[in-house]
Amino acid sequence: MAKKATKKAASKKTSAKKAAPKKASVKKATGAKRKPNPAFMRPLTPSSTLAAIVGAAALPRTQVVKKLWDYIKKNKLQDAANRRNINADDKLKPIFGKATVSMFEMTKLVSKHLK
């Protein structure tokens, strides 16, 4: 005599998971401003090739990059197809070391010309 396979009813366990208490979000006061990093605000002296574009006075790194972008936009040196690329002219080639540089690469290359 063959025994018939009987299925046991699947018993569902009732899980008594407790909902995790939500953390209260801490918001900063709207009037509070971010403090600038002192390393970015320290004046640095540009090299002679960089000084031809941004000036010879000691400037913070942020101002050097800002003046470079002003120069790039004034002379329309951004690539037309990919605006993230910068086409170097005669003044920028000694700084960049090549004809085309991405905007992310630019700051790395410029930092070599700051003391």
Q: Over the stretch 40-93, which tens digit does the pLDDT of each residue have?
A: 789 999 999 999 999 999 999 999 999 999 999 999 999 999 999 999 999 999
Number of domains in the chain: 1
**Residue 97 falls inside a structural domain:** yes
Q: Judge whether 87 and 100 are in contact, CB under 8 Å.
A: yes
pLDDT at 36: 77
Any idea what the CATH number is for the domain that residue 82 is in?
A: 1.10.245.10
pLDDT of residue 33: 84
Q: Which domain holds residue 70?
A: 39-111
In a domain, 85, yes or no: yes
Say yes or no to pLDDT of 12 above 60.
no
Is the pLDDT score of 115 beyond 70? yes
In a domain, 68, yes or no: yes
Reported as a pLDDT band with limits 50, 70 and 90, residue 39 is confident
In a domain, 81, yes or no: yes
Contact assessment for residue 76 and residue 91, using Cβ atoms and an 8 Å cutoff? no
Residue 27 lies in a domain: no
Of the candidate ranges 14-23, 34-43, 83-92, the one whose mean pLDDT is the lowest: 14-23
Residue 22 lies in a domain: no
Residue 26 lies in a domain: no
**Could you tell me if residue 30 is inside a domain?**
no
